[in-house]
Chains A and B, each alone.
Chain A
Amino acid sequence: MSETTVSRRGMLKTGVAAGAGVALPTIFTASSAAAYTNEPTGSTVTLGFNVPQTGPYADEGADELRAYELAVEHLNGGGDGGMMGTFSSKALQGNGILGKKVEFVTGDTQTKSDAARASAKSMIEKDGAVMITGGSSSGVAIAVQGLCQEAGVIFMAGLTHSNDTTGKDKKANGFRHFFNGYMSGAALAPVLKSLYGDDRKAYHLTADYTWGWTQQESIAAATEALGWETVNNVLTPLAATDFSSYIAPVLNSGADVLVLNHYGGNMVNSLTNAVQFGLREKEVNGKNFEIVVPLFSRLMARGAGENIKNIVGSTNWHWSLQDEGSKAFVKSFGTKYGFPPSQAAHTVYCQTLLYADACERAGTFNPCGVAEALEGFEFDGLGNGPTLYRAEDHQCFKDVLVVKGKENPTSEFDLLEVVEVTPAAQVTYEPDHPMFAGGNLGECNPGA
């Protein structure tokens, strides 16, 4: 069967041919003449909305997509303009971005880093997206942020709460409007102290990925500063749907507070399990057993139903806020979809507007110009009060809401009540804070 005889001469020939083959494609390195990746040349500009449409965060993803569509409508001059009317920067005209009509493509991240990157890549390479935004998981957001840095497009992070997104894994092309684990801890601690006292034993259940780790670290640090003791921290897989086996050991641990560092479907399931086990009626160490969910959202509250009542957590934004920006956004979202927006919808809507505004002010879509316009940008009127986009780590600093599940909800959306608005100054930290250290923004990359 084998009819080959490898001669020395043949071997040499093959070697030379292979060498030439390897050297040949260097002609490819001379890319096209565009100034930056996917420079929009026609009358339209394409944005890429990369959200989870399947998986544990699918609810959040669906709401994000609604907000993106609303933002595009407003940017193109449709609808009632939403928060464009209340936004402190008046650069946006309602004629698209820099006169170009805004178009968008969507993709499914599946809440998996691999799938999210594949989807973002196809948006950049095939559809010519000049900005990627979205993500409802910090793991995904970090992965896509890295990709955008390499490809030379701007990444406007959506729902990502891990310290690492603008800490260890921060990138020059990535920006985050949402708050983070450290801020949750700083905002929650005083409220927890006034509600539950300063000598408590906390048991943590934590989603096993970057967000869970950093949030757990932040909450543990903030509560330990109050005098609380952290009894145990158990990591749970993101894909888990039944948490009974994790709840049972809590009963015998001597802890009197359960901290659920879970989000989305995870949190709905773990809270339901905890309530089924009767944790909330228990009394430990002479105190009522309490459950804390550091990161809260209305979508989760709806999923958890009755169980959410009186449970304390923090959130980025809530639709019941009474400032002009929030009212305008809730009104236009409600008119279009018939129900109020979630915090995920709010943050991605803001991000889209902030990006568009930065392009207008910079006068270009070039990622470096846009980044410069966003860095150190101070604005107001987007529902969180005066906000700063810090240049050192591309993180927004604004007020944080501490909320709790409402005792007597008046409607299926009225599930959370705001306990306290923690001012931005109280949750601000130094860019080189130990929980955020180790990263490097690097240089902005315009690609091409």
Chain B
Amino acid sequence: MFGLNSKDTRLLLIVAALCLFAPFLLNPFPEGSELAQFNAGYPDLMQRFVIFGIFAIGFNILFGLTGYLSFGHAAFLGVGSYSAVWMFKLLGYNVLPGIVLSVIVAGLFSLLIGFISLRRSGIYFSILTLAFAQMSFAMAYSVLTPITNGETGLQVYTDDPQFLMGANSPNVPHLFGLQMNATYKMELGAWLFQFNAGYYLCAIIMLVMFYLAVRIFRSPFGIMLRAVKTNQNRMNFTGLNSRPYTLAAFVISGMYAGLAGGLMASMDPLAGAERMQWTASGEVVLMTILGGAGTLIGPVLGAGFIKYFENIFSKINDSVLHGWFAFLPDGLEDFVVAILHPFVGKGWHLTLGILFMLVVIFLPGGLIEGGQRVARLFRRKKQTPDGKDPEHHPKPAPHVAE
């Protein structure tokens, strides 16, 4: 279907189903129960899941395929956000122009940065992109304040021109009248499920982007990118110029990031400079590696994981912990809470860090590899029919010239 082989089609359908039923899947615990703390099925977080999913998919096209590790992708996200908010300020709250412009601006910006940074590879490339992103961040924070509104963040004010705004246009981001914050709440017994228009828009766009990424992965262009990752020198010696390919990959992933930024601004019309900070760039690297670099769905999983920790674990405070362990005797309760305290609330970074270490040490292929191992446990049949050893990797190419 859609020009995909059956395996990829199945993957796409699974992702589509997950997106469609996310409001149910993410709210497994009834409202009001102690475990409701772990529910993630509210609009803001679901939007973040898919938006950062898009960001990570795009990053994976660069990092997963070519192996070029960019440490500055947050810059494109930030640029996308700023463009979208400017569209809201100038034209009105319809999200379409904002999203389109954010992709275009991020594309141009990544073309510029990519053109310069891709002159180097490896660590030098990473440092160059990091430098550019930090430069953008510092500029958005200080000298570009008239455009970015500095630390306060770019917002839409009632006295902005908004030329396309009609008398009865909604006063929040909308798509032709469909308000992004419109939520249909469904109560089923003790459960409350929220279906948010903005989330579904993001989810549809993510599916399209996911499909696009699959096509890129399976295309001759994708093979070229993999060749760059495997051995760029050898590729160059055959007379192929790899620069246009890497630059194209860089721009594509930059546009993905810009799209994510534009969507973020569409869901919540504010753009802050922190979106460009190096921590934000590092986050997408973590997402991709945590989920599984170079795999199709890994980055999306990684993005979901990190956002879940950031939003759910950070909100567990001591009084919540006391509530959980109230059944224990007093002294023991305090002890257990004291043990868990560093790992929740503002300590969520610690939990995430430990998880990341465990994944990198024991599952170098990310969460995807974990899933594959579990799957292999359940269906251990006709291992290596044609004598191929799955643990066998091609040896690194010998350096003939040395």
A residues lining the B interface (CB < 8 Å): 1-4, 21-22, 25-32, 53-54, 105-108, 112-115, 117-119, 121-122, 125-126, 138-139, 142-143, 146-147, 150-151, 164, 168-169, 208-210, 235, 237-238, 438, 440, 442
Cβ of A113 and Cβ of B197 under 8 Å apart? Answer: no
Cβ of A126 and Cβ of B39 under 8 Å apart? Answer: yes
For the complex formed, measure the closest distance between the CB of A139 and the CB atoms of chain B, giving whole angstroms.
Answer: 5
For the complex formed, measure the closest distance between the CB of B111 and the CB atoms of chain A, giving whole angstroms.
Answer: 25
B346 at the interface (CB under 8 A from A): yes
Docked pose: A107 CA to B313 CA in angstroms: 10
Task: Name the residue among A22, A25, A105, A138 with the largest chain B CB count within 10 angstroms.
Answer: A25
Cβ of B272 and Cβ of A442 under 8 Å apart? Answer: no
Cβ of B151 and Cβ of A28 under 8 Å apart? Answer: no
Task: Name the residue among A126, A139, A168, A440 with the largest chain B CB count within 10 angstroms.
Answer: A126
Q: Could you say which of B177-185, B296-304, B329-337, B381-389 contacts chain A? A: B177-185
Cβ of B314 and Cβ of A108 under 8 Å apart? Answer: yes
A-B contact pairs, 24 of them (CB 8 A): A2-B215, A3-B3, A22-B175, A22-B178, A25-B178, A27-B184, A28-B183, A28-B197, A31-B182, A54-B346, A108-B345, A113-B152, A121-B268, A122-B311, A122-B315, A125-B42, A125-B44, A142-B155, A143-B272, A146-B270, A147-B268, A169-B155, A210-B150, A237-B142
B200 at the interface (CB under 8 A from A): yes
Docked pose: A150 CA to B311 CA in angstroms: 21
Cβ of B158 and Cβ of A440 under 8 Å apart? Answer: yes
CB neighbours of B291 from chain A (8 A) = none
Contact A121-B44, Cβ < 8 Å, known A29-B179, A31-B185, A237-B142: yes
Docked pose: A138 CA to B346 CA in angstroms: 21
For the complex formed, measure the closest distance between the CB of A306 and the CB atoms of chain B, giving whole angstroms.
Answer: 30
Cβ of B152 and Cβ of A209 under 8 Å apart? Answer: yes
Contact A118-B311, Cβ < 8 Å, known A29-B182, A53-B345, A208-B141: yes
B275 at the interface (CB under 8 A from A): yes
A26, A32, A53, A105: which contacts B178 (Cβ < 8 A)? A26
Of residues 150 through 167 on chain B, the ones whose CB sits less than 8 Å from some CB of chain A are: 150-153, 155, 157-159
Minimal Cβ-Cβ distance residue in B for A104: B319
B175, B185, B346: which contacts A53 (Cβ < 8 A)? B346
Would you give the 0/1 interface string for B307-324, flagging 1 where the beta carbon is closer than 8 Å to chain A? Answer: 000010011010000000
Cβ of A1 and Cβ of B315 under 8 Å apart? Answer: no
Would you give the 0/1 interface string for B254-285, flagging 1 where the beta carbon is closer than 8 Å to chain A? Answer: 00000000000000101010110000000000
Docked pose: A143 CA to B275 CA in angstroms: 14
A108, A118, A143, A208: which contacts B44 (Cβ < 8 A)? A118
CB neighbours of B270 from chain A (8 A) = 113-114, 117, 143, 146-147
Kindly list the 6 A-B residue pairs having the minimum CB-CB distance in the complex, ordered from nearest. Answer: A209-B151, A121-B44, A4-B3, A126-B42, A113-B272, A125-B42
Docked pose: A388 CA to B349 CA in angstroms: 43
B194 at the interface (CB under 8 A from A): yes
Docked pose: A126 CA to B3 CA in angstroms: 40
Docked pose: A311 CA to B171 CA in angstroms: 47
Docked pose: A113 CA to B2 CA in angstroms: 41
CB neighbours of B48 from chain A (8 A) = 118
Minimal Cβ-Cβ distance residue in A for B36: A126
B292 at the interface (CB under 8 A from A): no
B138, B152, B175: which contacts A142 (Cβ < 8 A)? B152
Docked pose: A237 CA to B345 CA in angstroms: 27
Docked pose: A333 CA to B184 CA in angstroms: 43
A4, A142, A150: which contacts B2 (Cβ < 8 A)? A4
CB neighbours of B42 from chain A (8 A) = 122, 125-126
Minimal Cβ-Cβ distance residue in A for B280: A114
Minimal Cβ-Cβ distance residue in B for A441: B158
